[in-house]
Structures are given as C-alpha cells and as structure tokens.
Amino acid sequence: MPLRRKIRSGYIIAFLLLLISYFFIFQYSWKVQREYNWVSDGYKAENKVSQLRNEIMEVETGVRGYYITKDETFLNKFHESQTSIPPIYNELKKIEEKNPAQLDKLDSLKDLIDTRLELMKRNIAAFQKANLKSTPEIEANRQRGQILIDSIRLYSTLFIMAEEDLMTDKKAKLTGSFTSTQIITIISLLTAILAILYSLITYNKESRARDRSTNENIKYQKELENNIAELKRMDAELRELRSSEKFTATGRIAQTIAHEVRNPLTNISLATEQLQDMNNPESSMLLEMISRNSLRINQLVADLLNATKAMQLDIKEVSINKILDETLEMAADRIELKHIKVVKKYSEKICGIAVDKEKIKIAFLNIIVNAIEAMEKDNGIIQVRTSVQRNKCVVEIEDNGEGMDDDTMQKIFEPYFTNKTKGNGLGLTNTQNIILSHNGKISAKSKKGVGTIFTVVLDFDNSK
C-alpha cells in the first residue's frame, strides 16, 4: 500500500474512533452539567430556606421588641416581610419545580409562615387597641405563635434534610459521570497517540529515501544558486568592462574626429578672416555665419574631447563626506528652487580618500543636477549615502524622480545622448570619465516612475 494511503487509512480509523469517543464525551459532559446544576440548585434551595427561616425569626424578634419597648421602629422588619418573603418563596418554588415532594414541604412551610404573619398582624392590632397593654387574648396568640415558629423550624429542617439526601444521591451520580468522562477522555487520548505513532512509524519507514533525495535537491539548488550568483557577478564585471571599452573607443573616435575636423575648421576660419578683411559688404553676412558655426563646431569637438580624454589629476586626501556637502552646497539654489528634501546618511567609519577634489565634485554635481531635474517640485527627495564595502568607498545618490527605461539606461553614458530640451548630453560622459580616471566604477539602477540610484565605488588610495 502506498505511503499516503497507509497514513490516510490510519487517520480515518483514528478519526472514527475519536468521533465515537467525542459523542460519548459530549453525552456525559451534558449529563455532568445537568447533575452539577442539580447539586448547585440543592445548595441554593438550602440557602433560600435558611434565609426564609431567618426572615421570619427576625420578624418574630422585632415584634417581641415592640411588645417590650412599645417602640414602633421594631415593627419595620414586620412591614418589610410583606415584600421580602414572597420573592424568596417564589425562587424556591422555581428551584424545586421538578421535585414534587419538596414542593409539598415548601407549601406547608409557606402556609405556616403566612399563618404566623397573619397572627402577628392581629396581635399587633389588638395590642395597639388595648393602649399598648397585654391582654389574655394577646398572650394566648403569642403562645400559639410560638408553636407556629417551632413548626416553621421543624419544616425548614425537614426540607433541608430532604435536600441533603437528594444532593447526596446527585453527588454520587455526578462522581460516576465524571469517572466515565475521564475514562472516555483517556481512551480518546490513547487513540490519538496510537494514530500519531502509527503515522510516525509509517512515515519514518517510507521517507528515508525521500529525505536523501531532498538533501540532494537542496545541494543541487545551492550549487545552482552559487552558479547564478557567479554568473551575475561575471555579467556585472562584463558590463563594466564593456562600458570601459566603449568609453575608450569613444575617446579614440573623439580624438580622431578632433584631429580630422579641426584641421579643415582651422583652414575655414583663416579663409573667412581673409575674406572679411576684403570688406565685401555683400559677403560679410555669410562670412560671419560661417565663422560663427565654425566656432560652434570647434567648441563641440573640444567639449567631446575634454569629456573623453584621459585627465591629469591633482590627487589629495580629503573627506568624501565633506566633498558631498560642498557639492550639495553648489546645487543649493536648484534644490531650494524646487523645494527638494535632502537626506544625508553618511558613514562615520570612512577615513580620508585620495581624489582630485574639484574634478570629483564636478562628477557628483552632474549626478545631483540630473536628479534635481528628474523630480517634481515640492515632492522631490534626494538621498546621499556613504559606506565602506570590501575596503572601498561607496557613494550612493538616489532620487524619487521619473526614472528611466531599459533603453535609456543603456545609453546614459554615451556622448550627446540626452532626453532634455536643453543640454549637450556630455554631463554623465564627463562624470564617467572622471570616475574612471580615478580607477573607480560608476553604475546606475532605475525604474520608470520610481526613481534612480547612481552608485560610485572608489579606492581609498588613487595615487597610483
């Protein structure tokens, strides 16, 4: 039989046994509750009868005090008894509604109490009519009343004794029900334990091979995860290498263009100057146009060359946190104009770093300006973080701007690539050149509609 079917069969049998056990437990629990209520009602009945007897005895004591002191305040308990005794009797009647024998005793007790109260009422009226003096009739009624009181004591005692006998019988039944419930509970517990043991033994016998297979799968999964992590690391290194190679190729192309374009531009400029010296009114405007555009082309070539050529660095040891503060100060007007919130999370563990302070500030400024321009007014947040990772200085600049798609991300460091209406598209190219000149690394992550994070990694010693 397959493992699942064995376990399922064991649980079905255990479930049926437990269901039968729970049926009996429920039945005996209901019986225990009923018998417990009987016992509880018995104690209540005893207390109420005692309370009823005490009420009539207090009335008797109060009336006697009235006869002796002639103070009507002693009759307060007698007057209160008209309203205090009936509720007690009614509650007792409700408790004993399923016990006819006790109801008969209770009715007899009620008749005696009513007779005694009526006799008290007549005696008090006769006493007051005789000007608060005792008469033979009053004394005879008092003796008769004493007999009634003794009868009330006797009937209440008989009622309590009968209730005690009933409770003794009910307690015995309650004890038996408790015992039966305990036995069934123990049987249910043993059934559950046996079912669990059966399942565990069956499962342990059948699952060793599966455990070995699971361990092998976990091992293969870990190896796969390690391979994926290694591939990701190699892919990141390959992207950085491609970026560096692309930047180097762009630099070579820029130098070639500069060499090939500047020579003709120089000749055009010289020829334009000579033609302008001839003072030909008709051609002066065209010559001026030629000269202006030649200068513009020359400037574009110079900007491209400056953004891609190797830099001469003035390396000094400075605090990267201080450089970032000074860079943010340079962009303070733009930040204030758009009401952008700046959050600084600087590491205190960073020591001095060897960089060209002015050039590295330009690199960070280009990133911060791009972040400012990508964010909405009054909602922008720039986070600037520094940390030490693997003995390298890491700077992260994060914004919550409009973000970039994958196609844009592939081109952000290319010369003349820009999504802005104004700008020459050389800012991030220049930033990349500065970081690479410091033997550092720069990368970016972005999500459309969420924001962008630029990460710059620098060695603490860039003097070599």
**pLDDT tens, N- to C-terminus, the chain (464 residues):** 565 676 677 667 777 777 777 777 677 667 766 766 777 777 888 888 888 888 888 888 888 888 888 888 888 888 888 888 888 888 888 888 888 888 888 888 888 888 888 888 888 888 888 888 888 888 888 888 888 888 888 888 888 888 788 777 777 776 776 777 777 778 777 777 777 777 677 767 766 767 777 788 888 888 888 888 777 767 666 656 555 555 555 555 555 565 556 566 666 666 666 666 666 665 666 556 666 666 666 656 655 555 555 667 888 999 999 999 999 999 999 999 999 999 999 988 887 889 999 989 999 999 999 999 999 999 999 999 999 988 899 999 999 998 988 888 888 887 777 777 666 677 888 888 888 888 889 999 999 989 999 999 998 876 55
Looking at the chain, how many residues does it have? 464
The Cα 172–Cα 178 span in angstroms is: 10
* Contact yes or no for 240/443 (Cβ under 8 A): yes
Same domain, 283 and 333: no
In a domain, 406, yes or no: yes
Half-sphere exposure of residue 94: CA atoms within 13 angstroms, side-chain side: 8
Q: Cα(271)–Cα(67) distance, rounded to whole angstroms?
A: 150
235: number of Cβ within 10 Å: 10
Distance CA 270, CA 293 (A): 14
Q: Where are the beta strands (DSSP E) in 183-328?
A: 316-318
- The answer on 263 and 148 residing in a single domain is no
Domain co-membership, 165 together with 246: no
Q: Which residues contact 394 (CB under 8 A, 6 or more apart)?
A: 386, 387, 388, 455, 456, 457
Q: Which amino acid is at 296?
A: R
Whether residue 227 is contained in a domain is answered as no
- Find tokens 């000094």 and name the residue: 316
pLDDT of residue 330: 93
In CATH, what number is assigned to the domain containing residue 418? 3.30.565.10
The domain in which residue 399 lies consists of 313-459
Give residue 242's pLDDT: 59
Q: Rounded to whole angstroms, how far apart are CA atoms 429 and 243?
A: 11
244 inside domain: yes
Is 86 within 8 Å of 48 (Cβ atoms)? no
* pLDDT at residue 124 in the model: 87
Under 8 Å between Cβ of 207 and 200: no
C-alpha to C-alpha distance for 79 and 323, rounded to whole angstroms: 99
Do 320 and 291 share a domain, yes or no?
no
What is the DSSP annotation of 90-156? HHHHHHTTT-HHHHHHHHHHHHHHHHHHHHHHHHHHHHHHTTS---HHHHHHHHHHHHHHHHHHHHH
Q: What is the pLDDT of residue 380?
A: 93
Query: If you search the block for the tokens 């334990």, which residue do you land on?
Result: 193
Do 428 and 388 have their domain in common?
Answer: yes
Alpha-carbon dihedral sign for residues 310, 312, 318, 323:
negative
Whether residues 368 and 410 share a domain: the answer is yes
> Quick check: is 71 in a domain?
yes
Burial of 120 (0-12, 13-18, 19+ CB in 10 A): buried
Residue with tokens 């003097």: 463
CA 110 – CA 301 distance, rounded (Å):
123
| pLDDT for residue 30 | 72
Residue 86 corresponds to which tokens in the numbers above? Answer: 């009936």
331/253 same-domain check: no
Report the distance separating Cα 401 and Cα 403, nearest Å: 6
Domain end call among 297, 329, 351? 297
Same structural domain, 48 and 176: yes
- Total domains in the fold of the chain: 3
In a domain, 335, yes or no: yes
Tokens of 453: 């994070």
Same domain, 344 and 406: yes
Q: Which pLDDT belongs to residue 453? A: 95
Same domain, 20 and 156: yes
Tell me if 323 sits within 8 A of 355, measured CB to CB: yes
Residue 273 lies inside a defined structural domain of this protein:
yes
Q: How far apart are CA 41 and CA 49, in angstroms?
A: 12
**Residue finishing a domain among 297, 326, 343:** 297
- Within-domain flag for 217: no
Q: What is the DSSP letter of 414?
A: S
Q: Are residues 357 and 403 in the same domain?
A: yes
Q: In this structure, is residue 437 part of a structural domain?
A: yes
- Structure token pair of residue 161: 């004794």
Based on the domain organization, do 239 and 202 belong to the same domain? no
How many C-beta atoms surround the C-beta of residue 443 within 10 A? 15
